[in-house]
Amino acid sequence: MKLGDLCNGAGIFCPIEYQNLEIGGISSDSRERTENGLFVCLRGGKNDGHAHIGEAIQNGAIAVLTDADAAVDPGAGIIRLQSRNPRASLAYLFDAWYGYPSRRLAIIGVTGTNGKTSVSHMLRTVLENSLCTCGVIGTVGSESRGGTYTHATEQGVANLTTPDPKDLYRILAQMADDGVEYVVMEASSHALELEKLAPIRFRAAIFTNLTPEHLDFHKTMEAYAQAKAKLFSKSALSVLCADSPYCNQMLAAATGKHVTCGVSQDADYQATDVELDGQDGVLYRLSSGRTRLRLSCPIAGEFTVMNSMLAAVCALELGCSPAAVKTALATMGGVKGRMERVKLGIGAEFAVIIDYAHTPDALEKLLLTARRLLQREGRLVLLFGCGGDRDRTKRAVMGRIASELADLVIITSDNCRGEDPMNIIREILSGIANREAVRVIPDRAEAIRYAVQQGKRGDLILLAGKGHEEYEIVGEERRPFHERILVKEAFEARLRAPEGMGLTEGEQTNEGRDTK
């Protein structure tokens, strides 16, 4: 692609003598081999791309885009372009490179601390039931009827909620080529703050909630909220959760049409006559000035009311029929790793549920929902950990919530990354006053086997934190880790074991108990 065309698409000045120069690729990683490439210098928390221009040139770059204030000289024969915001420019460049897919699709952004994945898949179900071809991009992956789309990982070890621009705009282009009309995309606060979505004018945007998370990156809740609010300044329609205390901040940022949804607060759309029907899901009446609709959804949990309402209202505002909305929500299946029950088959006297809850708010809601599903004679057993190299302030809080709401807490590892797992566990334990019903088993696979071995009639065992993830991050390595397989293997081993051979409360090893 000609350099002049790329620069024109990104709003970058390109000297006339270089406009017809053919560019072979775009990169912000100096280690990538890109023949006749354009290297974009980004400043990050650990690295500054301006310091790696020489390496990029060695790997084929013939042009570099730098910060306008950077005092650098790429050397003779290398074209220097400048930008006041190289991160935004990178997104615009990739959008141009892939033929402006952001202009060829109706893109719906979903943001919030919790609920993004559930709302995205609910809305996708409604749109497809309305005979629209729809794709989804988010935490559990990117897919449409055209298939699945791969995207990069953060440092090669963790899936990104919102892909980096080099993958995001390629995926959007592939979806457009596959005939997709609507794309429902999870918009993370990182992606918004780092300008990954700069070229996109959203057809609609949804706000689910905002609770403490990612404070290692944003530092304050105010900065976190400001990042989220950016989405609504670039959307033609905003659908907002009125029950969140941050709703007004999102409303203030909205530049297009906006509507609010409320369960506990007055709103444009109201959920009333709510019935929580245990494992059979939820039932409620959706009302507005021109809508009266009785909705049901088979996904258990009080949070399903707001999640399904946000999806329903967005679909209605986009022109979907009430009948299509009602049918889609009533018949939709679950979302992988969101209140997902592991099928144990005949012989199971207890249930195991996998969920992605990894914030204090999500963990509390998961436990409250599970308590309502619990059989009278059963225990609520929670297995969880906290991620390493991430917000440490939530660890003690999650420990307190777990100990207050679960009957037995098993504390273990969850993507320890560069931290010592026991240091993370000690911080979780600091929030727990009474540790009599707490077990510490740092090895997550062993912890899962222990939970299954200890399962009693009527118990509900919750494996929280990993959800859809099928890996465990240790240091810089991403190791395969399949909780569903581990649960089934442990259950089959339990069935094969002679009666009485399983661990009992009085036979725990030191690994299984920590009351220090």
Q: Give yes or no: residues 148 and 267 share one domain.
A: yes
Q: Give yes or no: residues 123 and 268 share one domain.
A: yes
Cα-Cα end-to-end distance for the chain: 63
pLDDT tier, 152 (very low <50, low <70, confident <90, very high otherwise): low
Looking at the structure of the chain, the number of domains it has is 3
Task: Point out which residues pair with 297 in neighbouring strands.
Answer: 282
Q: Give yes or no: residues 264 and 289 share one domain.
A: yes
Residue 480 tokens, joined? 């395969």
Q: Give yes or no: residues 194 and 212 share one domain.
A: yes
> Would the pLDDT of 481 be above 60?
yes
Q: What is the pLDDT of residues 316-365, one digit of tens each?
A: 999 999 999 999 999 987 788 888 889 888 778 999 999 989 999 889 98
> Would the pLDDT of 156 be above 70?
no
Q: Element (H or E) spanning 116, and its range?
A: helix 116-129
> Would the pLDDT of 504 be above 50?
no
169: domain CATH number is 3.40.1190.10
Contact criterion met (CB below 8 Å) for 94 and 25: no
Give CA angle at 278 (273, 284), nearest 5°.
Answer: 20
- Write out the DSSP string of 15-44: -GGGTTPBP-EEES-TTS--TTEEEEP-B-
The rounded distance, in Å, linking the Cα atoms of 209 and 485 is 32
CA distances from 117 to 32, 338, 415 (A): 32, 9, 20
Q: Give yes or no: residues 58 and 127 share one domain.
A: no
415 belongs to a structural domain: yes
Contact criterion met (CB below 8 Å) for 164 and 95: no
CA distances from 219 to 28, 172, 395 (A): 25, 31, 16
445 belongs to a structural domain: yes
Contact criterion met (CB below 8 Å) for 133 and 181: yes
Q: What is the pLDDT of residues 421-458, one digit of tens each?
A: 999 999 999 999 889 999 999 999 999 999 999 999 99
Q: Give yes or no: residues 404 and 452 share one domain.
A: yes
Q: Give yes or no: residues 315 and 346 share one domain.
A: no
Residue 421 domain boundaries: 340-512
Find the range with the poorest average confidence among 49-63, 141-155, 344-358, 371-385.
Answer: 141-155
Give 473-482's long-range contacts (Cβ < 8 A, gap of 24+): 473/157, 473/158, 473/388, 473/415, 473/416, 473/417, 474/416, 474/417, 475/417, 475/418, 476/155, 476/156, 476/157, 476/418, 477/157, 478/153, 478/156, 478/157, 478/158, 481/444, 481/445
Q: Give yes or no: residues 78 and 187 share one domain.
A: no
Strand ranges (DSSP E) for 48-96?
Answer: 61-67, 79-83
pLDDT for 513: 32
pLDDT for 151: 67
Q: 């708010």: which residue's tokens?
A: 361
24: domain CATH number is 3.40.1390.10
pLDDT for 216: 79
What torsion do the CA atoms of 489, 490, 493, 497 make, to the nearest 10 degrees?
A: -170
Q: What mean pLDDT, rounded, does the chain reach?
A: 90
- Write out the DSSP string of 206-263: EE----S--HHHH-SHHHHHHHHHGGGGGBSEEEEETTSTTHHHHHHH--SEEEEEES
Which of 58, 86, 114 corresponds to the end of one domain? 86
Residue 305 tokens, joined? 């009311």
Q: What is the pLDDT of residues 100-150, one digit of tens each?
A: 999 999 999 999 999 999 999 999 999 999 999 999 999 888 888 778 887
> Would the pLDDT of 243 be above 60?
yes
pLDDT for 183: 97
> Would the pLDDT of 372 be above 50?
yes
Residue 163 tokens, joined? 């892909």
Alpha helices in 288-335 (DSSP H): 303-317, 322-331
What torsion do the CA atoms of 411, 416, 419, 424 make, to the nearest 10 degrees?
A: -20
Q: Give yes or no: residues 186 and 210 share one domain.
A: yes
